[in-house]
Structures are given as structure tokens and as C-alpha cells.
């Protein structure tokens, strides 16, 4: 069964001096303030579209890697994934780097890296971001 998740943003003012808030409608977890400075300068307690993409990508990748390892008979004990989304004003998102460290019994480093590469390729968020360079560093704990 397909699912649809919803969020909405209310923005006030122009791009540079304006501000807004993104509300997570589906989950009901609240809202987060967004601004141009949080995107192009310092976060200062506000989020950005790129941070939201990083959150989506790190969680999706972790789920995909967990699934792949479990399917291979070696479920992970723990995966810690960081997604770094680079934004260049005037250009856009220039790349995403995923870093994952995992605790997985019964696999060696090469097997873990191969599973991580497969997860990077098949994670639905990675697929949605086709056209963006996505790199990966993977290692066992």
C-alpha cells in the first residue's frame, strides 16, 4: 500500500530577510523555523531544506542498509549514519556525503562496504536525488 507524508511551510517576506516555519503534518511532531541565513550562513537554531534532506537521507539509508544486511542473514546491532548535504548559494545542492559506522556480527569490512554501497544505490531517497553526486564512507565499529 502506498503512503503519502505531508509537510507544509508558511513563509513571510523576501528570501534574504524573510523567515518561515515548516510543519510536519503527517507525524504531528511540530514545526521548525527556517530562514535564508540558516541555509547559506549559520544555522542559529533554525533548519534548512538541506538539513531536512540530510535527515531524510540518513534515516532512509540506515533502513535500507539494515534491510540488506538482515536479508543476507547478518542483521546489524547498530548503524550510525550521517548525511552531509552541501549547498552552494547560486548553484544549489552540490553533493551529499553519507558516512556510516556499523556494528554487525559475522561480516568483514569489505562485505559491509559492499552492503552500504548497495543501500546507497537502492535507498528511495537516494533514488529521488538522482542527478546529485552521492558519496559514501562506510566502516565497521
Residue 1 lies in a domain: no
pLDDT at residue 5, rounded to an integer: 96
Structural contact between residues 100 and 62, judged by C-beta atoms closer than 8 angstroms: yes
Residue 2 lies in a domain: no
R_g (Cα) of the chain, nearest Å: 17
Cα 62–chain centre separation: 9
Q: Are 25 and 78 in a shared domain?
A: no
Residue-wise pLDDT tens digits, 111-131 = 999 999 999 999 999 999 999
Q: Are 21 and 85 in a shared domain?
A: no
Q: Give the helix ranges, DSSP H, for the chain.
A: 36-40, 49-71, 109-122, 124-128
pLDDT at residue 84, rounded to an integer: 98
Residue-wise pLDDT tens digits, 17-58 = 999 999 999 999 999 999 999 999 999 999 999 999 999 999
The enclosing domain of 123 has a CATH number of: 3.30.300.20
pLDDT at residue 98, rounded to an integer: 98
pLDDT at residue 17, rounded to an integer: 95
pLDDT at residue 9, rounded to an integer: 98
Q: Are 116 and 94 in a shared domain?
A: yes
* Structural domain boundaries enclosing 27: 7-40
CA distances to 19, 30, 36, 77, 101 from 46, rounded to whole Å, are 10, 14, 10, 32, 27
Q: What is the pTM of this model?
A: 0.95
pLDDT at residue 80, rounded to an integer: 98
pLDDT at residue 141, rounded to an integer: 95
Q: How confident is the model at residue 7 (pLDDT cuts 50, 70, 90)?
A: very high
Residue-wise pLDDT tens digits, 75-98 = 999 999 999 999 999 999 999 999
Residue 54 lies in a domain: yes
Q: Are 11 and 36 in a shared domain?
A: yes
Amino acid at each position: 500500500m502506498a503512503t503519502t507524508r505531508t509537510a507544509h511551510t508558511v513563509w513571510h517576506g523576501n528570501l534574504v530577510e524573510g523567515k518561515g516555519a515548516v510543519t510536519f503534518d503527517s507525524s504531528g511532531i511540530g514545526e521548525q523555523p527556517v530562514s535564508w541565513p540558516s541555509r547559506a550562513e549559520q544555522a542559529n537554531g533554525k533548519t534548512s531544506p538541506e538539513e531536512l534532506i540530510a535527515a531524510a537521507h540518513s534515516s532512509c539509508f540506515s533502513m535500507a542498509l539494515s534491510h540488506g544486511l538482515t536479508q543476507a542473514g547478518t542483521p546489524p546491532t547498530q548503524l550510525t549514519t550521517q548525511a552531509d548535504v552541501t549547498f552552494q548559494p547560486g548553484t544549489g545542492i552540490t553533493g551529499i556525503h553519507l558516512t556510516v559506522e556499523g556494528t554487525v556480527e559475522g561480516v568483514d569490512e569489505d562485505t559491509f562496504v559492499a552492503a552500504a554501497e548497495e543501500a546507497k544505490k537502492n535507498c528511495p531517497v537516494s533514488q529521488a536525488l538522482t542527478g546529485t553526486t552521492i558519496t559514501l564512507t562506510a566502516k565497521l565499529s
